[in-house]
């Protein structure tokens, strides 16, 4: 399996090298034989990569733990559902996934523009070639004994290490592939712009590039949105975006792609922003490469829970960034003088001016996030690596949001090239409607000035873009996509403001079987723990809200993989608010000391209303890596029958530690107090729970939060996705 996989990747690398050279020679010589050779090389590379992907899946589902990749991310206990997602759980798998998507894009380019613009395929293949070089260095088909030198050759582990519990989630099936479709598609736009600068045609390239830019924007945005929702409903910290460096690594290229998309609109209308769009196309792809370096090199391992550990690919990843940044800069400065200066209207109230305002706000946000995310790099050079706080990003994003909303609200009712405000009546009506909504918000509890300003601008944007969108939906539905996306962004901002600035939370302790009040007016009872359909423990809670009672079941279980408790919230979704219940900790009932009894082997004594008999010692491992473990085999008799229990004592950090075992059908627990090896006796402590009101209870600590109008955030994301998708359809298949 190892030989077949590595051989397939090696063949793909050689074929890619041949194809890359042949596309270049075809561009230089215009000899059809080179073009045919290039396509044959591409076909061989494609078949080899698809074969490698299929082979990796075969090994995953066959549980071939001799492959280090399969051992590291899978186990025999994983369902087929999650085995699918292990393909992209590690670095090697994600690089292979990127390459496979590159094959798909290459097929589209060969069918459409490769013969007339072979340099596009040349640069595409150059990216593929470099990715294959990385995959040769770090192959998914490496055997376990080649990575772990202590493992003997030919050894087959009984099971794999398994998949991180945080990744054992249905969103793991959907989110990463969509994210990588977006990542990988940026190389097409990059290849198109390199070709444009190479042949010194700085205008016509945007016709082919715009559908790809829209596609990249759509897929990157969808991936980011899905990742945010995954975090919200799974991680239990109550939010959807933490400005985590790895999250930012995906956000930055999306922001640059959004700016590029609007820049191309101005260039197609005005033949302006020619140089700017070249830079933006280069920045988008280079931001993807830089993000890959940050997340895969291990430099963020101390600052992000999502980052890969330290890697031996650093030099390759840095070379990846350096090579393509160098090619771009060389071609850009070579053609710099050929580009015309931006052309704008005479007055300031033109559509392109306001689009540019929005572009600059998003671009500056992207640059600031880029610099903030990279802070561990340059602070490390100056001393101790450090990361900027989430507050830094929030402070920067607020003024950017104001300018963005102003741009999205005003631009649709402005004319191109001249200062002309159209549809003044709709502007006035939208402004008044937005004011009324904002006043209602103040009455209902809006107090912070910045939130009032943002809510007003957002609702103004919704009403005005809604007016324009409806007019297009009646006659040219496909042309309404941009305005629907703007509505979505405005709704998202409203949802972000209300759910983050005006959310409230309370920590509540829940003794089992008792309803406890909350500050929100409803009561919660902790019933017990039960196993869900996925086999993982959940806490069964009952929420009593007036006359209505419903069950909440947040996840709370111990993971051997992480050696810690895994928490996942229960979210009750509503339009006006979400009720978010997340477990914090569990405290079992505290038993108190009652009596102790010392027994030798086979000796029996009565303690209160029970009789305790010590049968024998059992020596063995009670806890992994704890060799000094002794169990006492004990029989306990009481009026209703008898049971056998085995309390244990073991050595931990140089101290004796013993557990408490429950005596079934009684209110007692038993533990080993001491062992006398010379006499072969054991002293057992009898613990009691007490009676009546004094009887201790298990306690579950939870945090209850209310997220007002967070539904608008998720509704807004749907508007954004649908709007961009509609724009893509209009660009790929324009209406007659």
Of 207, 317, 347, 349, give the one whose Cα is nearest residue 267: 207
| Run of H or E including 503 | none
pLDDT at 734: 58
| Confidence (pLDDT) at 625 | 44
Two structure tokens written together for 396? 């920067």
Q: What is the model's pLDDT at position 347?
A: 66
Q: To which H or E segment does residue 232 belong?
A: helix 205-234
pLDDT given at position 373 = 87
CA dihedral for 198, 199, 202, 203, sign (positive or negative): negative
- Residue 595 DSSP label: E
Helix (H, G, I), strand (E, B) or coil at 24: helix
Distance of CA 29 to the CA centre of its chain: 46
Dihedral, CA of residue 703, residue 709, residue 711 and residue 716, to nearest 10: -130
Pairing state between β 668-676 and 548-552? unpaired
For the chain, how are helix, strand and coil distributed in percent, rounded to 5?
A: 55, 20, 25
Q: What is the pLDDT of residue 622?
A: 42
Tell me the pairing of strands 610-619 and 629-638: antiparallel
**Alpha carbons 64 and 1: distance in angstroms, whole number:** 9
pLDDT on residue 626: 45
- Three-state secondary structure readout of 283-299: HHHHHHHHHHHHHHCCC
Q: How far apart are the first and last CA of the chain?
A: 53
Burial (CB count within 10 angstroms: exposed 0-12, middle 13-18, buried 19+), residue 697: middle
Give kind and range of the element (H or E) at residue 243: none
Q: Which residues of the chain register pLDDT less than 50?
A: 305-309, 622-626, 735-736
pLDDT tens per residue, range 256-314: 999 999 999 999 888 888 999 999 999 999 999 998 888 877 666 555 544 444 567 88
Is residue 303 classed as helix, strand or coil in its secondary structure?
coil
Q: CA–CA separation, 357 vs 717, rounded Å?
A: 23
pLDDT on residue 535: 82
């Amino acid at each position: 399996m190892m030989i077949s996989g590595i051989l397939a990747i090696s063949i793909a690398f050689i074929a890619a090298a041949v194809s890359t050279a042949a596309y270049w020679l075809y561009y230089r010589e215009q000899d059809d034989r080179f073009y045919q050779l290039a396509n044959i090389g591409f076909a061989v590379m494609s078949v080899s990569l698809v074969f490698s992907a299929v082979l990796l899946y075969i090994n995953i589902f066959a549980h071939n733990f001799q492959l280090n990749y399969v051992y590291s991310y899978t186990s025999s206990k994983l369902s087929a559902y999650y085995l699918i997602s292990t393909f992209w759980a590690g670095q090697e798998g994600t690089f292979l996934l990127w390459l496979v998507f590159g094959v798909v894009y290459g097929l589209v380019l060969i069918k459409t523009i490769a013969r007339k613009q072979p340099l596009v395929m040349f640069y595409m293949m150059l990216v593929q070639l470099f990715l294959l070089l990385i995959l040769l260095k770090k192959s998914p088909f490496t055997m376990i004994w080649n990575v772990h030198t202590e493992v003997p050759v030919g050894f087959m582990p009984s099971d794999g290490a398994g998949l991180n519990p945080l990744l054992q989630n249905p969103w793991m099936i959907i989110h990463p592939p969509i994210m990588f479709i977006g990542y990988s598609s940026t190389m097409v736009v990059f290849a198109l712009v390199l070709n444009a600068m190479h042949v010194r045609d700085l205008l016509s390239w945007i016709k082919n590039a715009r559908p790809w830019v829209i596609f990249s924007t759509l897929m990157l945005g969808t991936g980011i949105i899905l990742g945010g929702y995954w975090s919200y409903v799974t991680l239990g910290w109550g939010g959807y975006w933490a400005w985590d460096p790895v999250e930012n690594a995906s956000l930055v290229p999306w922001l640059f792609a959004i700016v590029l998309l609007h820049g191309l609109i101005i260039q197609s209308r005005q033949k302006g922003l020619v140089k700017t769009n070249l830079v933006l196309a280069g920045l988008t792809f280079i931001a993807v490469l830089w993000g890959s370096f940050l997340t895969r090199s291990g430099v963020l391992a101390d600052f992000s829970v999502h980052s890969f550990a330290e890697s031996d690919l650093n030099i390759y990843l840095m070379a990846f960034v350096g090579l393509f940044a160098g090619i771009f800069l060389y071609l850009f400065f070579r053609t710099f003088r050929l580009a015309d200066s931006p052309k704008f209207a005479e007055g300031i109230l033109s559509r392109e001016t306001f689009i540019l305002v929005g572009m600059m706000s998003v671009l500056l946000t992207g640059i600031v996030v880029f610099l903030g995310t990279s802070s561990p790099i340059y602070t490390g050079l100056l001393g101790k690596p450090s990361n900027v706080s989430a507050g830094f990003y929030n402070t920067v994003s607020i003024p950017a949001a104001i300018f963005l909303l102003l741009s999205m609200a005003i631009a649709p009712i402005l004319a191109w090239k001249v200062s002309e405000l159209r549809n003044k009546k709709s502007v006035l009506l939208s402004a008044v409607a937005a004011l009324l909504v904002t006043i209602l918000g103040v009455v209902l509890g809006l107090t912070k000035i910045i939130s009032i300003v943002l809510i007003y601008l957002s609702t103004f944007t919704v009403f005005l873009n809604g007016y324009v969108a409806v007019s297009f939906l009646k006659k040219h539905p496909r042309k309404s996509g941009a305005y629907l996306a703007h509505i979505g962004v405005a709704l998202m901002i409203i949802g972000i403001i209300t759910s983050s600035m005006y959310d409230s939370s309370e920590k509540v302790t829940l003794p089992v079987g008792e309803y406890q009040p909350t500050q929100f007016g409803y009561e919660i009872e902790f019933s017990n723990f039960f196993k869900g359909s996925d086999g993982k423990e959940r806490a069964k809670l009952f929420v009593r809200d007036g006359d209505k009672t419903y069950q909440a079941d947040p996840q709370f279980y111990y993971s051997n993989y992480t050696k810690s408790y895994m928490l996942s919230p229960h979210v009750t979704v509503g339009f006006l608010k979400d009720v978010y219940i997340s477990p914090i900790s569990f405290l079992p009932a505290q038993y108190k000391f009652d009596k102790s009894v010392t027994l030798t082997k086979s000796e029996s004594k009565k303690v209160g209303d029970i009789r305790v008999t010590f049968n024998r010692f059992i020596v063995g491992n009670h806890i992994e890596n704890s060799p000094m473990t002794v169990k006492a085999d004990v029989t306990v008799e009481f009026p209703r029958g008898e049971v056998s229990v085995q309390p244990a004592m073991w050595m931990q950090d140089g101290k004796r530690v013993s557990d408490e075992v429950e005596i079934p059908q009684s209110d007692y627990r038993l533990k080993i107090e001491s062992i006398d090896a010379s006499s072969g006796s054991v002293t057992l402590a009898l613990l009691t729970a007490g009676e009546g009101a004094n009887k201790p209870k298990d306690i579950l600590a939870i945090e209850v939060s209310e997220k007002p109008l967070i539904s608008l955030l998720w509704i807004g994301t749907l508007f954004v996705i649908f709007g961009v998708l509609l724009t893509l359809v209009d660009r790929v298949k324009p209406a007659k």
